């Protein structure tokens, strides 16, 4: 009998442990799920785009799984790698797509512009 529903038996056992990294790409299953990656495929490249528009702003862009709304994480900044401050979520622009959420953070080159 064929069914379109997914049961626990259909999920590979390697995915049950949120801290496991069975594809050895240094991303635990929980992070892979949040970022919409395949936990069984070594695909840790191109997780995000970081760049700098000369004299304008720094930017960071990444995608998240639209269904992983119960997992959140923060973006932190530091001037000396000792003290860290979380960047307010209000600074992150979110664009919802059908299967993912595109997140974009832009920081002005001159922080006085914030
Ligand atoms: Ca992994």
The tens digit of pLDDT for each residue in 10-33 reads: 777 777 899 999 899 999 999 999
pLDDT for the residue numbered 93:
95
The Å distance, Cα 2 to ligand 1 centre, comes to 31
pLDDT tops 90 at residue 55:
no
pLDDT band per the 50, 70, 90 thresholds, residue 109: confident
- Cα separations in angstroms, 93 against 4, 50, 52, 90, 103: 35, 15, 17, 7, 6
Averaged confidence pLDDT in the chain? 87
pLDDT band per the 50, 70, 90 thresholds, residue 111: low
The Å distance, Cα 35 to ligand 1 centre, comes to 11
Q: Is the pTM of the predicted complex or chain greater than 0.95? A: no
The Å distance, Cα 114 to ligand 1 centre, comes to 36
The Å distance, Cα 45 to ligand 1 centre, comes to 11
Distance of CA 49 to the CA centre of its chain: 11
pLDDT for the residue numbered 114:
53
pLDDT tops 70 at residue 2:
no
pLDDT for the residue numbered 110:
67
* Burial class, 114, CB count within 10 angstroms (exposed 0-12 / middle 13-18 / buried 19+): exposed
pLDDT tops 70 at residue 43:
yes
The Å distance, Cα 79 to ligand 1 centre, comes to 30
């Amino acid at each position: 009998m064929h069914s379109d529903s997914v049961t626990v038996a259909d999920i590979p056992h390697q995915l049950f442990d949120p801290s496991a990294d069975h594809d050895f790409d240094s991303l635990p299953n929980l992070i892979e799920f949040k970022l919409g990656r395949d936990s069984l495929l070594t695909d840790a490249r191109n997780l995000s785009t970081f760049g700098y528009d000369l004299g304008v702003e720094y930017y960071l862009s990444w995608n998240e799984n639209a269904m992983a709304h119960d997992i959140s994480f923060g973006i932190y900044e530091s001037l000396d790698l000792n003290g860290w401050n979380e960047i307010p979520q209000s600074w992150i622009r979110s664009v919802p797509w059908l299967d993912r959420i595109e997140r974009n953070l832009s920081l002005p080159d001159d922080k006085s512009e914030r």
